[in-house]
Structure 1
Amino acid sequence: MPDITSTYVDSLAPNAAAVKNGQNLVRKNSFTELSRTDSGDLLFGLCAGSGKLPYACSVDFMVPEKPVFRCTCPSRQFPCKHALGLLYAYAEGKDFAMKEVPGEIAAKREKAEKREENKAKQEESRVEDKPKKVNKSALRKKMQAQLEGLDQLEKLALGVVRGGLGAVDARRIKELKGYVKELGNYYLPGAQNELRRLLIVLGEEPRNEEGYSYAMEQLTVIHALIRKGRARLHARLEDPELALDAESTIEEWLGHAWQLSELKSFGRIKDHAELIQLAFHSYNDLAREEFVDEGYWLDLGSEVVHRTVSYRPYKAAKLMREEDSFFEVAQIPALYVYPGDMNTRVRYEEMTSRPSGAEDYQKIRKAAIRTYAVAVKQVRQQLKTPLGDKRPVLLLHAARIGVTEGGQFTATDEAGQTIVLEDIYSLAEGTVHLLPFLPAEALSDCTLLAMFHHNPDTSRLSAQPLTVFKGDEAYRLLY
C-alpha cells in the first residue's frame, strides 16, 4: 500500500472539482462508516448520499501501483468523490475500524486475479519479438498523401512570404484558415498546428515589429518542417520495412502518436525510476485547440530534467483527467522516454509515491549547472535546431538573485556571469514580479529552475524563473 497523503490523493483526482467535493465529504462527516483490512491493502466505507441508503465505496490496493476504485453511486466520474473522500479521510488520520474483506469485494478480487492469470498466459503464449503486422500498402499511401500535403503547405508559406506579412489582412487570414482544415486530409496535424499558430500571430492587434519577428520565426519552423519532413518521408519510403525514427522528434511533427509498445520495442524505457516534480503549469494552446498540462521533473537517478505533457482537446476536456502540481516523489515501475533532445517527454502508466526528503533536494542542488557559460551553450545548441523545443528548461545554481540599478532582475553564478530574468513571450503567466516576495535568504546560494527564451528583436537570451529551491524548501512561482 502506498503512503497515502493529501498530495497523493490529489494526483488521483480527475479534476479540481473532484478534489474539493471529496474533501467536503470529510469535512461534513458524511462517512457513516470507515473500515480497513489488517493488511492495509483495502479501505472501504459507507457515505451518506442523496438517497435513503448510503453509498458503499472502497479503494483496493491489492496491486499498489494500480489501485481499484469501487462505489455504488451513479457517478460516471472516475474515481468518484466518495472514493476520493475515503482516501482523504485516511490521509487526515480519521479512525478506521479493522475488518475482514467484505464478501462482494473478495469475489471481485478473485475474478480480477483470474483475469490477470489469463492475461499472463496469453502473453506467455505469444511469440516474443514477433513484429506487429503493418499494412505497408496503406502506410505507403498515407506517406504519399503527407508528401502532397507538404507540397501544399510550401505553396501556402511561399505565398505569404511573396505577398509580404504586412499584406496579410483579416480576409487573407480567413482564406488561409480554410487551407488549415484541408491539411487534415493529408494526415499532417503538426503542419495544421504550425500554420494555425502563424495565423494567430498575424491576427494579433495592434501589429508591431515584435509580432512580425515572431511570425518570421514561425515561418522558419514551417520551412524546417517541410524540408525535414519531406526528407524523412522519402527515406522511409525507400526502406523496405518503413521503419520509424526513434531518435528525433520528426515522426511526431509528421503526426505519429507514439504507442508505449513502440517505445518499449526501441528500448526507450527505464525501469524503477524516481521522479520529483520541479514545476507545473497548464495553458490553453489555441493552435492545437487543446488545454495542455505540462510538468517538469528531475529523474533522481540520472539527474536529467524531463517533462510530462497531457493534452485535453476542447470538446473532451470535461471528460478527461486534469493533471495538477505534485509535491512528493513519484516511484515509477516503467518510465517511457520519447525521442527528443533537451527536456525529453516521459510518460508512465503506474506509480506510487513517497514523501520527498532532504536527500531528494540534495540531488536537485547537485543537478544544477553552476557555470552559466555552459548553460548558455546548451540552450543555444538547442535553439539552433529548427524543430527543437524553443522553451528549454534548466536547473541553475545561483550565487545570488538580485536587481540591477536599472531595475532588471538577474541571476549571477559564482564567476560573476549573469543571466537576465524576465517574463517571456511564450509563457502567458508572469513570475518575475513574485521574486521580491521570497525570503531574502532564499535568493542567495540557491537553485533556480528557469525557462529560456531568445528574443528575435533584441537577439538577447533571457530566462523566466519557475521555481527557486533553498535547502529543503521549494518556492514554486508557477503552478
Structure 2
Amino acid sequence: MISLTEAYVDSLAINSSAMKNGRDLVKKNSFPKLGKTSDETLIFGECKGSGKEPYHCSVDFVKPEEPVFRCSCPSRQFPCKHILGLMYAYALGNAFEITDIPDDIVEKREKAEKREEKREEKKKEPVGEAAAKRKKTNQSTLLKKIASQLEGIELLEKLIQQLTNSGLGSLDKKTVKTFEDQSKQLGNYYIPGLQTAFRGLLFELNASNEASSSEQKESLYTSIVESLGVLHTLVKKSREYLTARMDNPESSIDSETTLEEWIGHAWQLIELREHGRVHPSTELVQLSFLSYTDQARSEFVDEGYWLSLLNGRIDVTRTYRPFRAAKHIREEDSWYQVVQTEELFMYPGELNARVRWEASTQREMAADDFAAIRNAAHKSFPEAVKLVKNQIKNPLSDKFPVLLLFYTEIGQIDDTLVIVDAQGKQIQLANIAFPDHDTTSLIPYLNKQYVKDQAILVKFGHMMDKNQLQAQPLSIVSSNEIIRLLY
C-alpha cells in the first residue's frame, strides 16, 4: 500500500508551474475516471486533454523507491502535469475505484521484470569477463578517435599561444569574441572537456574587460593566469596520455585520476563497475546543497555534498541541466533524510569524488547519525590544511575541496572571523569559494550554543594575493540538527 502526500508530489514536479498545473487539473475535475489496484501499488486514470480522446496516465509503485510514470500525452516534461494531477488527486483523498491492472501495464511490468533480471545477471558477471567484453571495441575506430583528439589538442595549443601572444592586457571584447568563434571548432575533435576549460578562460577574460575597479581586474587577472596554467598542464598531460594509448590501444582507460573527465569522457556506470569503483550498501547524509550556473558548460549544476556514515568520506553529487533542455529536466533538491543506497558508484577523484546511485531508500535521521557525522570531523586543523595543500598543488585538482572540521570556538580577529581547534590553531572564514553567496556574514547570527564545540562543513580556497588558505562555511552540525548556511 502506497502513502502519497502533497509534499511528496511537490518534490517530483520540475518547477512551480508544473505543481500549479497539476493541482488545477484536480480542481477542474479533469479526471472522469480514477482507478487503483487492490494492493494500491498502481494508480491510474483518464485525464481530459485538448483533443477528443483523454490522456491515459498511471503511476506504478511496484518498486516504491522507484515509481514508474506513464502518460499518453506528448509533453516532454517528466513527470507531466497529468501524472502530477493524478497523484495530487490520490493525496487529496479523491475516490479511486478498485479494479484489475490494465492489460497494457501488465505487459509493461513483465518487460520491466525481464530488464531487471538482465541487469542482475550483469552485476553477477565477473569483472574480468566484463572487461574482456569491452575490449572487443573496434580498435580501428578507437585509434581514429584518439587521432582526432590529438589533432584537437594541437588546435587548442595554437589557440592558447595566439591568446598569450596577443597579450592578456590588450584583449578587448571583439578579440575575445573571435577566439570564442574559433573555439567552436574544438567540438569536432571529441574533447568537450578541454573545450569547456578554454571557454571558461574566455569567460574570465570577458569578466576582466567588464570589471569596474582595479582591484577586481587584479583578482580576475590572477585567476586568468591560473587558468592558463591549468590549460597548459591539460594540453601536456592529455597529449602524453593519448599518445601512449595510440601506441598501445589494448591499455586500460585511466580510472584513477580525473584526466579522462578533463578531456571530456562521460563515465558510464558499467565502466565504473568494471574498474571496481562501486561500493555496496552505503548510507549517506547531505550536508550542503546549491544550484548554480556554469556558463562555460552552458548548463545549470545541482551540487550536493554528502557524508558517508560508514567511512566518514565527503563526496559530491552533480546533476547537469543543459540550458536548452533545462525546462524538461527536474531540478534536484535538498535531502534531509538518510539515503540508503544499494550501490554507490564513485567517479575518479580525490578528497571529494563525484558519486552517483541508481536506487535508494530513505529513513529519518537519528541521534546516532548526528554523532557519527561529528565524529568524522577533522579535529586537527594543521592535518586538515595539509590534506588540502596536497590536493591543490596539483594543477588539475579541485582548487576548492570540502572538509568537515570540529572547532572548539568561533572567534574574531579585527574584522575577520576564525574557527579554532583544541590546540588553538586557527582558520580564517571568508566567502572565497562562492563569492556571490555570502555565508560568512551569517555566522554572527548563530545562537550562542553553536559558537563552541561544533562540526562545520567548509569549502577551502587559496587567496593568491595573501598566499593564505581560507574557508567558506557551508553548514554547521550540532548533536541534533544540520544548520545550512548555503542553499
Give the TM-score category using the shorter length: 0.7 to 0.9
CA distance in 2 between counterparts of 1:7 and 1:460 reads 45
CA distance in 1 between counterparts of 2:118 and 2:478 reads 51
1:55, distance to aligned residue in structure 2 (A): 7.5
1:336, distance to aligned residue in structure 2 (A): 1.2
Whether the 8 Å CA contact 1:33–1:45 is kept in 2: the answer is yes
1:412 has 2:420 as partner: yes
CA distance in 1 between counterparts of 2:6 and 2:444 reads 30
Farther off after superposition, 341-350 or 42-51:
42-51
Task: Read off the aligned partner of 1:440 and give its amino acid letter.
Answer: K
SS of corresponding position for 1:444: coil
Whether the 8 Å CA contact 1:367–1:395 is kept in 2: the answer is yes
Whether the 8 Å CA contact 1:11–1:323 is kept in 2: the answer is no
* C-alpha distance 108-54 of structure 1, shift in aligned 2 (>3 A): closer
Match of 2:106 in 1: 110
CA distance in 1 between counterparts of 2:416 and 2:331 reads 36
CA distance in 1 between counterparts of 2:425 and 2:30 reads 58
Farther off after superposition, 74-83 or 262-271:
74-83
* Percent of pairs with identical residues: 46
1:72, distance to aligned residue in structure 2 (A): 6.5
Match of 1:174 among 177, 192, 196: 177
Match of 1:387 among 396, 404, 414: 396
Match of 2:334 among 300, 311, 325: 325
Match of 1:287 in 2: 296
Match of 1:436 among 444, 450, 458: 444
* C-alpha distance 150-397 of structure 1, shift in aligned 2 (>3 A): same
* C-alpha distance 445-155 of structure 1, shift in aligned 2 (>3 A): same
CA distance in 1 between counterparts of 2:121 and 2:44 reads 37
Match of 1:60 in 2: 60
Farther off after superposition, 157-166 or 358-367:
157-166
1:458 has 2:482 as partner: no
CA distance in 2 between counterparts of 1:161 and 1:196 reads 15
Q: What is the TM-score normalised by the length of structure 1?
A: 0.88
SS of corresponding position for 1:131: helix
RMSD between aligned residues: 3.2
1:349, distance to aligned residue in structure 2 (A): 2.1
1:306, distance to aligned residue in structure 2 (A): 1.0
Q: 1:74-133, CA deviations, whole angstroms, 9 ceiling, x for partnerless residues?
A: 644222345445556777xx5577964x32x35344213421354367669988635133
Match of 2:80 in 1: 80
Whether the 8 Å CA contact 1:372–1:417 is kept in 2: the answer is yes
1:308 has 2:281 as partner: no
Whether the 8 Å CA contact 1:8–1:328 is kept in 2: the answer is no
1:255, distance to aligned residue in structure 2 (A): 1.3
Task: Read off the aligned partner of 1:422 and give its amino acid letter.
Answer: A
Match of 2:218 in 1: 209
Match of 2:476 in 1: 468
CA distance in 2 between counterparts of 1:74 and 1:189 reads 32
CA distance in 2 between counterparts of 1:470 and 1:28 reads 46
Whether the 8 Å CA contact 1:7–1:326 is kept in 2: the answer is no
Farther off after superposition, 51-60 or 218-227:
51-60
1:409, distance to aligned residue in structure 2 (A): 1.6
* C-alpha distance 174-63 of structure 1, shift in aligned 2 (>3 A): same
1:266 has 2:266 as partner: no
Match of 1:119 in 2: 115
Q: Spell out the pairing of 1:156-305 with structure 2 (5 A cutoff).
A: 156-204=159-207, 205-206=210-211, 208-305=217-314
Task: Read off the aligned partner of 1:247 and give its amino acid letter.
Answer: E
Match of 2:350 in 1: 341
CA distance in 1 between counterparts of 2:26 and 2:428 reads 47
1:350 has 2:352 as partner: no
1:25, distance to aligned residue in structure 2 (A): 7.0
SS of corresponding position for 2:477: strand
The gaps in structure 2 that reach 5 residues or longer are none
* C-alpha distance 421-122 of structure 1, shift in aligned 2 (>3 A): closer
Farther off after superposition, 270-279 or 258-267:
270-279
Farther off after superposition, 421-430 or 230-239:
421-430
Q: 1:1-32, CA deviations, whole angstroms, 9 ceiling, x for partnerless residues?
A: 78766665455333343345556778999989
The gaps in structure 1 that reach 5 residues or longer are none
